[in-house]
Amino acid sequence: MDIKSVYRPVLTSSVQPPRFMRKADYIYLDSAASTPLIIEAKEAMEEYYFDNFANSSSAHAAGRRAKDAIENARAEAADCLNAGSAEIIFTSGASEALNMAIFGYYHLEGSRAAGKNIALSAIEHHASLYPALEMKKYGANVVEIAPESDGAVDCARFEAAAVKAKKLDFVSIMLVNNETGVIQPVAALSEIARRYGACFLCDAVAGFGKVPIDVRALGVDMLALSAHKFYGPKGCGILYIKKGTRINPRTLGGGHEFNLRAGTLNTPAVIGAVAAMKKAVSDFKEREKHCLLLKNYLYKKFEIFKENNIDIRYNSPVDKTVSSTLNLSFKNIEAEKLVEYLSDKGIMISAGSACNAKNGAKASHVIEAMGVPFEYSMGAVRISFGIYNELCDIDILTSAILAMLKK
């Protein structure tokens, strides 16, 4: 079977997959942290490592070929988001894109930030949370909106914060939470934000390929993506900036990216990222069906814990999450110990965001903001599926966790 056909019927739980269908010698259930490079992206990138390697800013024919390839990719990326080509900026990743959006926004820059009102959810990724909090140093008022217990930001609570502030200047709320998979009501929130005069930034890193994204329908002014979250290469991000939104460059030098971001573009990464974008859009229904089957099967298999009197709590409500991500806790079991145990068994899951793993064993700020009791919050882990996962992966995961908890 051709490895390109990743949406084959998922293997039954009693059958091990043939070796050639595996891309690694371990079970990877951490696709929310990163994904492998899909074959279509890899093949698209190969030309730009040698045959068409020229600097896209060079005036000669080879440079123009590279430039044309980037501009074609820019137009295709715009089509995937229902945006205009001139509204797409390529960056080194989502962290740079989010920092650029916040620190580069004209009305928050330097002394202009004094007295401005910024609102964001308390469950934002640190790549947008920390830059927003940094604006306090420049005199901005920053309000964090706590989510409901189900992990979603409530529109009424958000509007109450806007009423109290009287005017909002900038809002940052993610589309899908990276730890719980909870889908946020961004279209409704952005409508409220507009009524109070705010520029709306959306971190859509955990959402692209998992929910349809149309920047016009969402009503956002800026939106950030990261290619390695949807089977593209690491080192490439995308920032959508709605026409008319005033942004100043944060990296000075040449006039790259419409004079907004200096630096020679990583042409292979840009080409691979957009190839992966197009594949994610065209295969959305197949991927959704694949991951939903895996997720439903996990719920079924994990009934064994209740049957063995093991206390388990699901932190991701079924009806509000993407099909590929699930956050759960085992009572009084430290997440770090569970992750380490499974890793030793060749099974990869995560304790919250991969970006926070180095900070040691402590409860996630997302889980804490949701009000999860301490005896569960310290044990919160994230299981996230990808297009190469099989039902037998869940069987092996379940058996390994049960063996650990029975000791």
Place of tokens 């016009």: 216
Exposed (0-12), middle (13-18) or buried (19+): which is 360, by Cβ within 10 Å? Answer: exposed
Q: What is the pLDDT of residue 3?
A: 34
Q: What is the pLDDT of residue 368?
A: 95
Q: Record the tokens describing residue 85, joined without a space.
A: 């080509």
Q: Record the tokens describing residue 199, joined without a space.
A: 């520029």
For residue range 318-328, what is the model confidence (pLDDT) as tens digits?
899 999 999 99
Q: Does residue 380 register a pLDDT over 50?
A: yes
Percent of the chain beyond pLDDT 70?
A: 91
Q: What is the pLDDT of residue 23?
A: 55
Q: Does residue 357 register a pLDDT over 80?
A: no
* Spatial distance between the Cα atoms of 248 and 305, rounded to a whole number of angstroms: 53
The pair phi, psi for residue 199, each rounded to 5°, is -85, 135
* Spatial distance between the Cα atoms of 170 and 46, rounded to a whole number of angstroms: 40
Percent of the chain beyond pLDDT 90?
A: 85
Q: What is the pLDDT of residue 16?
A: 54
Q: What is the pLDDT of residue 10?
A: 53
Q: Does residue 122 register a pLDDT over 90?
A: yes
Alpha helix ranges (H) inside 186-229: 186-195, 215-218
Q: Does residue 21 register a pLDDT over 90?
A: no
Q: Considering the domain 19-30+284-406 in this protein, what is its CATH number? A: 3.90.1150.10
Q: Record the tokens describing residue 331, joined without a space.
A: 């009572």
- Spans of all domains in the chain: 19-30+284-406, 43-282
Picking from 142, 135, 67, 152, the residue whose alpha carbon sits closest to that of residue 101 is 135
The residue type at 63: G
Average predicted confidence (pLDDT) for the chain: 91
* Spatial distance between the Cα atoms of 393 and 77, rounded to a whole number of angstroms: 33
More confident residue, 117 or 11: 117
Angle of CA points 177, 159, 240, to nearest 5°:
50
Picking from 225, 180, 234, the residue whose alpha carbon sits closest to that of residue 201 is 225
User: What residues act catalytically?
Assistant: 355
Q: What is the pLDDT of residue 259?
A: 86
Half-sphere exposure of 9 (CA within 13 A, CB side): 4
| pTM > 0.85: yes or no | yes
* Spatial distance between the Cα atoms of 16 and 253, rounded to a whole number of angstroms: 54
Helix 186-195 / helix 155-165 crossing angle, nearest 10 deg:
20
Segment 216-244 mean pLDDT: 98
Q: What is the pLDDT of residue 31?
A: 97
Contact 347, 290 (CB under 8 A): no
For residue range 234-292, what is the model confidence (pLDDT) as tens digits?
999 999 999 999 999 888 887 788 889 999 999 999 999 999 999 999 999 999 999 99
For residue range 22-41, what is the model confidence (pLDDT) as tens digits?
556 899 999 999 999 999 99
Q: Does residue 230 register a pLDDT over 70?
A: yes
Q: Where are the beta strands (DSSP E) in 188-296?
A: 199-203, 222-226, 237-241
Contact 387, 287 (CB under 8 A): yes
Q: What is the pLDDT of residue 370?
A: 95
240 forms bridges with which residues in the sheet? 88, 223
Structural fold of domain 43-282:
Aspartate Aminotransferase; domain 2 (3.40.640)
Q: What is the pLDDT of residue 253?
A: 84
